[in-house]
Structure 1
Amino acid sequence: MFGSLDVFLARRWEDLVMLTLQHLAVVALSLAIATVLGVLIGLLVWDRNVPRTAALTAAGIAITIPSLALLALLSPVLGLGWAPTVVSLVFYSLLPIVRNTVVGLREVPAHLIESARGMGMTPAKTLLSIQLPLAWPVIVTGIRVAAQLTVGIAAIAAYVAGPGLGLYIFKGLSSLGSVNALNFTLTGTICVVLLALLLDGAFVLIARYSTSRGLRV
């Protein structure tokens, strides 16, 4: 038993727009923090064997923790709402960003680095002028993967009163058998999928127009 989806959307479109914007905002904030932290960690460990292995192993183990379990652990400390949501999204975003930063920097040909230093460039200038631009397409791919992860996990954050479209999904699941249970769940799920696709397309464009023309394939 379910109500008309057209009527459901007509009555709740303003609420749906607000939840979509909240979902996008929490994903964007978390992704920005994770990008800064992930790239910084990658820069610190990419050429050091033990720290690199430790960082990638730790991030890999961390991402195996079930999101509901992590949110349940964070909520007594951080409360409900935005704080545990942002922390958990940053937590899960770090692996692809750190990994791709390390991979991108390690793929820069050694002879280019040696040539830059032979021309008198400092390590910092070599990093900014040579290594990061060459590694950038790989780094953006890691951020793109992290974006897809955060969009999905942000929906689960409704478990701790997090912002976004998860509210509709959980509301539908908690009211199974009611007239609009399916409409709530279906609407929330479809909007999450559409948002993920839009973000993915945005990162395709970002990668294309922020990458040097000579590196585009």
Structure 2
Amino acid sequence: MGFLEFLVKRADDMLELGLQHAVIVGAAVIIATVLGVALGVLTYRHERARDLALALTGSFLTIPSFALFILLLSPLGLGWRPVLFALVLYGLLPVVRNTITGLRGVDPAIVESAKGMGLSRRQRLLRIELPLAWPVIITGVRVTTLVLLGIAAIGAIVNGPGYGELIFTGLARVGTPVAVNLVLAGTVGVMILAVLFDLIFYAIQRLTTSRGIR
């Protein structure tokens, strides 16, 4: 059976697994973004705090994904829970790093001008610093998304949702005619999702960034 014929025959499975993959990654990205931006905001003004935040979130990326998924089996069981938890951990560093970079890159003169106008620390952060840092922050979110799309496929080892099911099923059937088609279908599915997510974030960045700082 040719690959295209295989895709047509398994179109329903491809769509269902694609939705599962997108949902688990989307949820992880949202959580990682909220936590990462909050951590960046809390630490960017203090050298020791931001170094600690970057070191901690960076250490998560050194944990092999296979090992982490297996370690999470005991407290979280099989299914989407260990996958979501692991993806959030893996997704923190780019968001934290870019939030800190973006906020520290804001021109101090602009911040001082806002302070001179009577804006409080919170108002300066929300109205001046975060909007100016936003293009850098959302770039970190885009990087996180692309990284997590690939890692999410490995979550199939703990019965996680998504295209990893096709990939691992194919690997288990190595030597059979359908093995390559299964692995290739899962891989192509992840690549298509990566393109779609990147287009979505590009549109979000265009819509949420002031023309003056694009």
Band the TM-score falls in, shorter-chain normalisation = over 0.9
Q: Does 1:192 align with 2:175?
A: no
Counterpart mapping for 1:58-73 below 5 A: 58-73=56-71
Distance in 1, Cα, partners of 2:137 & 2:185:
33
1:34 and 2:23 are equivalent in the alignment: no
CA distance in 1, matches of 2:50, 2:175: 51
What is the correspondence of 1:1-217 to structure 2 with a 5 Å cutoff?
3-216=1-214
How far, CA to CA, are the matches of 1:11 and 1:73 in structure 2?
36
Alpha-carbon distance in 1 for matches of 2:94, 2:183: 29
- SS of the residue corresponding to residue 176 of structure 1 reads coil
Identity across the alignment (%): 49
| Counterpart Cα distance in 1 of 2:4 and 2:22 | 24
Deviation per CA, 1:123-175, whole angstroms, max 9, x where unpaired?
Answer: 00010110000000000000000000110000010011000000000000110
Query: What are the superposed Cα offsets for residues 47-90 of structure 1, whole Å, 9 maximum, x if unpaired?
Result: 01111110001111211111111111111110011100000100
Task: Please list every run of 5 or more consecutive structure 2 residues that lacks an aligned counterpart in the other structure.
Answer: none
Q: Which runs of 5+ in 1 are unaligned?
A: none
Q: Give how far 1:9 is off.
A: 2.1
Q: How many residues align?
A: 214
For residues 193-216 of structure 1, give each alpha carbon's deviation from its aligned partner in whole angstroms, at most 9, with x where no partner exists.
111111112212211221001001
Structure 1 outlier segments of 4+, above 4 Å: none
Q: Aligned equivalents of 2:50 and 2:182: distance in 1?
A: 44
Equivalent AA in structure 2 for residue 88 of structure 1: A
In structure 2, what residue type is equivalent to 1:100?
N
How many Å apart are 1:4 and its aligned residue? 2.5
Could you tell me the TM-score, scaled by structure 1's length?
Answer: 0.96
Q: CA deviation at 1:11?
A: 2.4
* Cα RMSD after superposing both structures: 0.9
* TM-score, normalisation: structure 2: 0.98
